[in-house]
Structure formats: C-alpha cells, structure tokens
C-alpha cells in the first residue's frame, strides 16, 4: 500500500467496508460458546435427491478458528475403529444446530495429538465443571 495514491487507498478501504457489511448480514446471532476439548453434537442439513434432512455428527472439538464469518471448528469422532475428522463452518446455512454434550479441561489450543491414537484417549480428558450451573 506504500505506492498507492490517496484515491486508491480510499477505494481499497471502501471495498473492505462493503465486504464487512455483506458479511454482517450472514453472521448468525445466536452461536453457543464452544471451546477446544468439548464434546459436541452438530446437526448438518444434507440434501438427498429432492429431500432435505438433518444428519447429526458427534465428536470432540480438536481446533477452532475465530475469524468473524469464517468461524470454523474441526470435530473428530471414532467410527468402527477409524478416526473421522470434519470441519464445520459455523455461520453456514447448512449448519443447523450445535449442542454441547460435555466439556473437558485442556491446556492446548489444538488437540492434534488425539489423531495419533484410535483408542478412547479423548474420553480420558479431564472434565470441566461450570460453577455457574451448580450454584
């Protein structure tokens, strides 16, 4: 941006502002607060032929990226001894529901070490208790 003149800089900023306004219209208002290590159940809208149905996917959140409308979470589950990972765009229209099953206390922002094992090492994560719900 060093070599741009003033008109080009203003044009660049206005495009950025327009993009921000468009993104604001598509951001969902009520998104539950989730953390890495939480076990979640996610409902995704799937189209099969002419019908649409909700398919549920339950697993542990391995990673989370916070970047406005591009908020994504990586969820891993083990199905028949094989680990399956899937990324979900939270603000996507195909993303229907998110339910927190269990919370775990972890010290890392990314739990990629859970990929190395197909056993239930994820179930050995320490549970996090919410003190607001107890009182």
Q: What is the DSSP string of 45-89?
A: EEEETTEEEEEEEEEEEEEEE--GGG-EEEEEEEETTEEEEEEEE
Q: Phi and psi of 90, rounded to 5°?
A: -65, -35
- For residue 89, what is the domain's CATH number? 2.30.30.790
Within a domain: 129: no
Within a domain: 18: no
Within a domain: 14: no
Domains in the chain: how many in total?
Answer: 1
Q: What is the domain range of residue 40? A: 30-121
Within a domain: 60: yes
Within a domain: 61: yes
Within a domain: 23: no
- Condensed to tens digits (0 to 9), the pLDDT of residues 6-20 reads 567 667 777 777 777
- Condensed to tens digits (0 to 9), the pLDDT of residues 98-129 reads 999 988 888 888 988 888 865 665 556 766 66
Q: On the CB side of 10, how many CA atoms lie within 13 Å of its CA?
A: 3
The sheet with strand 39-48 has its strands ordered as 82-89, 72-79, 51-65, 39-48, 95-102
Q: Phi and psi of 132, rounded to 5°?
A: -70, -35
Within a domain: 49: yes
Within a domain: 5: no
pTM: 0.74
- Condensed to tens digits (0 to 9), the pLDDT of residues 54-94 reads 999 999 999 999 878 889 999 999 888 888 999 999 999 99
- 95-108: string of b/e by CB count within 10 Å (b at 16+)? beebeeeebbebee
Shortest CA distance to 44 belongs to which of 108, 97, 109? 97
């Amino acid at each position: 941006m060093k070599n741009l003149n003033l008109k080009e800089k203003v044009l660049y900023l206005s495009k950025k502002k327009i993009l921000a306004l468009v993104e604001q219209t598509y951001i969902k208002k009520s998104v539950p607060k989730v953390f890495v290590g939480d076990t979640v159940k996610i409902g995704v809208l799937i189209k099969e032929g002419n019908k649409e149905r909700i398919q549920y996917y339950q697993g542990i959140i391995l990673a989370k990226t916070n970047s406005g409308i591009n908020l994504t979470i990586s969820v891993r589950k083990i199905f028949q001894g094989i680990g399956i990972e899937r990324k979900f765009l939270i603000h996507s229209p195909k993303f229907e529901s998110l339910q927190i099953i269990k919370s775990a206390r972890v010290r890392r922002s990314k739990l990629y070490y859970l990929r190395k094992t197909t056993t239930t090492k994820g179930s050995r994560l320490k549970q996090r208790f919410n003190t607001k719900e107890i009182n």
